Structure 1
C-alpha cells in the first residue's frame, strides 16, 4: 500500500503573493479546508508544505503555504502532485477503497476462473470501470456495480467478480 495519497496537482501560480491554483484529484475539494499540511512530490523527494489559507475559485482550489510569500518561491511547485499521508486521508466507510489500493489486485470470477490483474480504474459519471488485463494481454472492462463486484479483499490482494453477459 502506498504511504501517500494524491489530493491535487499544482496547475499554476495565482497572483504574486505565493499562492497556487490546485486542480483537486479528491472527490471532495472542500477537504482542503481541514488539511494542515500537504507534501509536494518533486524530483528531489516529497517536500512538506504547511497550509496557511484555502480559497475556492470555479473548479480550482487556491492554496497559500506558510513561509512562501512571493511568486518566485512557489513557481518551482508548478505541475507537482500534492499528497497527504494515509493518517490525514479521508476516513472510508466499510466497502470503500482508495483507487490506488485496487491497482494490482488479482481478479477472479465467482465461478473460480482466474481472470487477470486489475491495472487501471476509469472514472466515469455513473460508476467507475475496472480494467483487468488477462494472461493473454487482453483487457476486460468491468463496471463497479453491485451486480459485478462480489468481493474485494485487500488483505488477500484479490477481487471476485461476476461477469455479466457481453463483458468478455
Structure 2
C-alpha cells in the first residue's frame, strides 16, 4: 500500500470476468457511473506504487461494475490486480453543491442532537433511492439510522467532523 493522502478510494477489484481482461469492481463511491465511464483515469494501488489506468468500457452486472481498461486484451494482463483497491486522484473529484458531501467527509463524523447530547459516530452510508441514510454506531445500543433530510440533519461541519441533528420523536428508538 502506498501513500494515499491525495487519493480517494472508489472501489476494489474483487475478481476478473471472462478472458478478455475485464475486472469486477465493487464500487464504494457516490459517483460510480462517472468514476467508471469511458475515458476515466484511475489508479490501481500496488505494493510498488500506483499504476495509472484508463477505462475503455464499463457496465453494471449483478451490482458490480465490469470494467475493461485501455491496453488490456486478456485475463493474464490484469489478474495480478485482483483484490487491489482503485483510487481517483483528489483533484479529479467534482465540486459539490450545497448540502452534498463525499462519503469520506461524512463517515467518521460525530453526531449530536440540538441539546448537544452525543449520539454516536457515522460508520456507513446507505443509498435508498429517495435519500441517503447515515448509519450511526452508538455505544451499548443498536445503530441509529439517520435520514439525510432537512427536517433531521440541521448542520454538517465537515472540517470539525461534527453533524447536528434534530432527534425527532422515535428516530433514535
Output the TM-score relative to the length of structure 2.
Answer: 0.76
| Aligned-CA RMSD value | 2.8
Tell me the CA shift for residue 74 of structure 1. Answer: 0.5
Aligned length: 165
Tell me the CA shift for residue 54 of structure 1. Answer: 2.1
Specify the alignment match of 1:51 in structure 2. Answer: 54
Question: Once the two structures are superposed, what CA deviation does each residue of 1:140-159 show, in whole Å capped at 9, x if it has no partner?
Answer: 22111111100101122211
Mapped to 1, the partners of 2:19 and 2:67 lie a distance apart of 13
Unaligned runs of 5+ in 1: none
Mapped to 1, the partners of 2:146 and 2:160 lie a distance apart of 20
Structure 1 counterpart SS, 2:116: coil
Specify the alignment match of 2:15 in structure 1. Answer: 12
Unaligned runs of 5+ in 2: none
Q: Which 4+ runs in 1 deviate beyond 4 A?
A: none
Q: 1:37 to 1:121 in 2, by over 3 A?
A: same
| 1:78 to 2:97 alignment | no
Specify the alignment match of 1:92 in structure 2. Answer: 96
Specify the alignment match of 1:137 in structure 2. Answer: 140
Mapped to 1, the partners of 2:54 and 2:16 lie a distance apart of 15
